[in-house]
Amino acid sequence: MQDKSYLMIPGPTPVPPTVVAAMTAPMIGHRSEDFQVLHKDIITKLQKIFQTQNEIYILTSSGTGGMESAVANTVSPGDKVLTLVGGKFGERWSELTKQYGAEVIEVNFEWGTCVDPQVVQEKLAANPDIKVVFATQNETSTGVTNDIESIGKIVAQTSALFVVDGVSGVGGIEIKVDEWHVDILTTGSQKSLMLPPGLAIQSISDKAWKVIEANKSPRYYFNLLKARKQYPKWNTAYTPAVSLFVGLNASLDMMLAEGLDNVYARHKLLREATRAAIRALGLKLMADESYASPVITSVYAPEGIGADDIRKVLNNEYNITFAGGQAKLKNKIFRIAHMGFADQMNVLIAISGLEMALQKVGYPVELGAGVRAAQQVFLGV
């Protein structure tokens, strides 16, 4: 019998059978009327999820490609930018902007904590020539969700653009692009949107277009001005990943059928159950309750036990895959994703496997304690 596997990492995430089936449909031409109808339909649905009236562009690339597009189109050499860093993916904004010749003001927050909007306000006041502020909605490396609403209101009072990495959050965590003054929101297909890797999606505000039009950075494939020329015809500048577009349409239909409020509530419930289970097992959570991510939970390994040793047992003996720590958190934490196509039973399987793995690596665990705590959250008792 072929082994079942349980993928609980923050991307790529499991793809629903409905979406897989949709992507097996016969290929259509990317310059055909069928594709144009599909493209227009997808954008209408994405605007509901993004909560925006802005144009939304779908690029055939990874989520990092979408981040690079946001930088390449808004940062000219010598521009002063502000990057808000509280983990590995906040660092990526700094790395990208430096590659495009920006003068980078990097504000670092302790990993496992959220961005302090007051610090953002102070930096903008001290540096009125900052052109772009780069933030992360959901810091996947630590399991922290930042207060995009508060940061957006602060940035909107200045001439700076507000660019947000929503790669792991969009689809699992609510975001209100227009109300929260997000000038560019970029996300990826392989996380909460329940697709294979290969699409980057971004909304562009009118304020951002003015900067893009004046931008001096060299770019070709990620030139959003080329993409905008094709937008009225519902075409793309270059060959799109047609099958992924079809899959995206199916995954968006699933989310809208569930109801976005229900989607976000489901993710929050999975977070609460996972955190309750971890506490019941006597393990330490990385993120505080007030800003803990609804889509991923980061957990410190017990003293004297490597996180990767726990993950190895989970993978080799139970076919359960957790994510490890990155950079300075390597072998110190493990991360349990509950994003996208995830439900209560996924969490119960993950916690049950974790309990057995902990016992096998020598951690004194009361079998069933974590599972019981998660069950109590799900049952509301």
Does 335 count as an annotated binding residue?
yes
b/e sequence 343-361, b meaning 16+ C-beta within 10 Å: ebebbbbbbbbbbebbebb
189 and 66, same structural domain?
Answer: yes
265 and 228, same structural domain?
Answer: no
111 and 133, same structural domain?
Answer: yes
* β-pairing verdict for 199-204 and 55-60: antiparallel
| Domain interval for residue 311 | 6-12+259-379
| CATH (domain of 103) | 3.40.640.10
Q: Is residue 180 part of a domain?
A: yes
226 and 268, same structural domain?
Answer: no
182 and 50, same structural domain?
Answer: yes
Total count of domains within the chain: 2
165 and 109, same structural domain?
Answer: yes
303 and 274, same structural domain?
Answer: yes
155 and 46, same structural domain?
Answer: yes
197 and 58, same structural domain?
Answer: yes
| CATH (domain of 311) | 3.90.1150.10
Q: Is residue 123 part of a domain?
A: yes
242 and 161, same structural domain?
Answer: yes
Q: Nearest 5°: phi and psi at 308?
A: -70, -25
Distances (CA, A) of 15 to 18, 131, 321: 8, 38, 15
Q: Is residue 1 part of a domain?
A: no
The C-alpha torsion from 122 through 128 and 131 to 134, rounded to 10°, is: 0
> pLDDT tens per residue, the chain (381 residues)?
457 899 999 999 999 999 999 999 999 999 999 999 999 999 999 999 999 999 999 999 999 999 999 999 999 999 999 999 999 999 999 999 999 999 999 999 999 999 999 999 999 999 999 999 999 999 999 999 999 999 999 999 999 999 999 999 999 999 999 999 999 999 999 999 999 999 999 999 999 999 999 999 999 999 999 999 999 999 999 999 999 999 999 999 999 999 999 999 999 999 999 999 999 999 999 999 999 999 999 999 999 999 999 999 999 999 999 999 999 999 999 999 999 999 999 999 999 999 999 999 999 999 999 999 999 999 999
Of 232, 257, 282, which residue constitutes the final position of a domain?
Answer: 257
Mapped onto helix, strand or coil, the DSSP state of residue 189 is coil
Q: Is residue 155 part of a domain?
A: yes
Of 197, 228, 257, which residue constitutes the final position of a domain?
Answer: 257
132 and 29, same structural domain?
Answer: yes
286 and 361, same structural domain?
Answer: yes
DSSP states along 105-164: EEEE--TTS---HHHHHHHHHH-TT--EEEEESEETTTTEE--HHHHHHHHTTSS-EEEE
Helix or strand run (H / E) with residue 298: strand 296-300
Of 225, 257, 289, which residue constitutes the final position of a domain?
Answer: 257
How many CB atoms lie under 10 A from the CB of residue 229? 12
What CA–CA distance (Å, rounded) separates 110 from 192?
A: 25
